[in-house]
Structure 1
Amino acid sequence: MANMTPNRGNSHTTLILLYSVLIIYAAITLMPFIWMLITSFKEPRDVFKLPPSFVPKLLFTDQPFANYSEIWTKRDFVIYFRNSAFVSFMAAVGQVFATSLGGYAFARLDLPGKNWLFALVLVTAFVPVEVTIIPEFLIMRGLGWIDTFLPLIVPSFLVGAFGTFMLREYFASLPKDYGDAAYVDGATPFQIFWKVYLPLAQPALVAVFVIAFINNWDELLRPLLFLNSNELKTVPLGLMSFVSQYEASWTLLMAGSVISTLPLIIIYMLTQKYVLQGFAGGGIKG
């Protein structure tokens, strides 16, 4: 009994140190978001005031949400928000569609040369966007898709390296006996995929959807190249409108950034359990 006391004391000390490190790390990580939130409630003249103030004066006025009201009613941010939601949702659905089919085929079907094809799909994940963006622009222009949402959505229905890899690992981790039993009962390969394995892969599908949604929500380069009309612009392009060559509306930019960040936080909080299960079930460790 006497020997247990020091060990218990050491474990408490270790936990205290661990939680202290985690709290410090969390504070450092959250500090940019906290400062962004504070700045969104400031008046323009207080943004670069020294020493900096952590209590925005706008909160104590009769219009504490003036910055949010302006971007939401006068700067077309409702249109940008709606466009980003539509494009991100459709692109995420496309990723789930394409990668679930590809991941299942690479994991469960006996296809000639499938390992080489899978390696080729993975290689595309390491090709910088800057290498392919010019040919991609020429193709979209040839199809007459410039200034439409199609260049932002259709490619997601064709391929997705990360999602294909993740779902391949997840499908491969599921028991093969389920498919064999369904095959004995007369199910076709597509029925086995659709009715047996796809419902079991729900956590991985949600994880792919969330990651694809976030990536497309934050996408700037492709909307910048493919969209010209103001009514088609997405949130990242809308945020760029607050920065000009000679000045920037920092308070409005921070308010817009807060609004654009909140949906991602809410989506991740609602689906966190499935995302973690999707990564763990597929044997992918972060």
Structure 2
Amino acid sequence: MNKNITLIALYSVLSLYALLTLSPFIWMLITSFKEPADLFRLPPSFAPTQLFTDAPFANYTSALTERDFSTFFINSLLVAACSASGQALTCALAGYAFAKLPFRGGNILFALVLATAFVPTEVTIIPEYLLMRGLGWIDTFLPLIVPSFLVGSFGTFMLREYFSALPNDYAEAARMDGASNFRIFRDIYLPLSVPALISVFIVAFIHSWDELLRPILYLNSPELYTVPRGLMSLVNEYDSEWTLFMAGSVVSILPLAAIYILGQRYVIQGFVGGGVK
């Protein structure tokens, strides 16, 4: 009896916590189906009034067509997919080198790579901007994609731990057959590290999709805007289209939810296999 009461209390607390966590998303969804006149009504209305009209999806239609959110969506998919792919590739190479190819000063270099996680983006954004301007990359996707091909601290740490947990017997047997280090990495260890690679890809994809600072700095042409940059164009000093903003926000989280749900199993395997506690 006491055990049942404990379980009921535990699930009640967890349900309340889940409701509080989801409440901003619920409010965002409701607001995306409201008329602009209903936004500032007092007391606030929780009814999605636009659902009961002849055009229940007018805000979504307007956001995707009149505000060109479909273009922003495609731009974000391109940038996030390229950035995440580059991050997974370079982190896999670095993680394998640190785990399976010991060299003098490797631990010090690995510590320096991890130390970059403590450096905020805002600290390096000015020299980065000057570099991108010098290369002539302003108003292109290159400043959003190329930095992701540099080794990331999180992905390198995770893949190093994952590769370290794999037996060395595979590499020794392959070397006896004359395989090079790169072939051992490509044909043996890389296929075995798929869960960790997918985990790094998903984390990098979400980070790139949500990136706002770099798109604001580097993208000037509306046809190049990503989704976060496009959302910011709906909010300005003199006018804010909150219903369209909420509709665009709902659309923007759909790919993130889909990619995480599809890759959740691999994310768990990657974190467990990598020893990340």
Aligned length in residues: 277
Shift of 1:187: 1.7
Distance 2:160 2:135 in 1: 32
Shift of 1:56: 1.2
Alpha-carbon separation, structure 2, partners of 1:10 and 1:178? 53
- Quick check: 1:117 aligned with 2:133? no
2:249 aligned partner: 257
Q: Does 1:141 align with 2:137?
A: no
Amino acid at match of 1:21: V
Matches within 5 A, 1:1-286: 9-285=1-277
- Map of 1:6 onto structure 2: none
CA distance in 1, matches of 2:4, 2:190: 44
Q: 2 CA distance for matches of 1:159 and 1:142?
A: 22
Equivalent residue for 1:3?
A: none
Q: Secondary structure at the match of 2:102?
A: coil
Which secondary structure does the structure 1 equivalent of 2:268 belong to? helix
Cα offset, 1:112, TM superposition: 1.3
Residues 56-101 of structure 1, C-alpha deviation per residue, up to 9 Å, x if partnerless? Answer: 1110111000000001110111111111110000000000111000
> Counterpart amino acid of 1:156?
S
How far did residue 106 of structure 1 move? 0.5
- 1:4 aligned partner: none
Task: Report how far residue 17 of structure 1 moved.
Answer: 2.1
Structure 2 residue matching 1:164: 3-state secondary structure: helix
TM normalised by structure 1 equals 0.94
Q: Flag as ranges the 4+ runs of structure 1 deviating above 3 A.
A: none
User: Identity over aligned residues, as a percent?
Assistant: 66
| CA RMSD between the two structures | 1.0
1:190 Cα offset (Å): 1.0
Deviation at 1:276, TM superposition (A): 0.8
Counterpart Cα distance in 2 of 1:261 and 1:129: 23
Unpaired runs of at least 5, structure 1: 1-8
Q: Distance in 2 between matches of 1:105 and 1:41?
A: 52
Structure 2, unmatched stretches of 5+, are: none
Cα offset for 1:13?
2.6
The normalised TM-score by structure 2 is: 0.97
Give deviations 1:102-142, integer Å, cap 9, x for gaps. 01101110111110110111111110111100000011111
- The CA deviation at 1:159 is 1.5
Distance in 2 separating the partners of 1:270 and 1:52: 36
Moved more, 91-100 or 45-54: 45-54
